[in-house]
Amino acid sequence: MGAGKTGVSFNYYILMDRARIELYIYYDHDTGEKNKEIFDELYKQKNSIENELGEQLYWERLDDKRSSRIYKKCTQGGLLNKEIWPQIQDEMIEGLIRFHKAIKPRLDKIKV
């Protein structure tokens, strides 16, 4: 799902045993400095974002890389849990809608 900025995206991420939804920040392909600026501006609003969502997010600035990410773990499982794929999909879809709603307006206000 687009975030309205080139190089910033909302993503579904699913592995064999777990899943998450994330905001992946890779706007600046050169030094990564602008990526950290975007992350830091959102991090300043961490408490209000998490309060709006009603849950804790994971904030990874990734200082040793150019990219950064913010994500929410999904609780249902991953690809190995075929019997509950519909529930996993529902959790991921509903989670991304709420995640997007909480972060996108704040992201739109960040000037880089």
Range of the domain at 45: 8-108
Give pLDDT, residue 4: 66
Distance (Å) of CA 36 to CA 14, 18, 22, 46, 77: 25, 27, 16, 15, 30
Residue 16 lies in a domain: yes
Residue 71 lies in a domain: yes
Higher pLDDT, 103 or 29: 103
pTM (2 d.p.): 0.90
- What is the token pair recorded at 72? 């929410």
Q: How many domains does the chain have?
A: 1
Q: Which of 101, 75, 77, 96 is nearest to 10 (CA)?
A: 96
Q: Which of 29, 23, 56, 55 is nearest to 41 (CA)?
A: 23
The tens digit of pLDDT for each residue in 23-72 reads 999 987 778 799 999 999 999 999 999 999 999 999 999 999 999 999 99
The tens digit of pLDDT for each residue in 58-95 reads 999 999 999 999 999 998 899 999 999 999 999 999 99
Residue 36 lies in a domain: yes
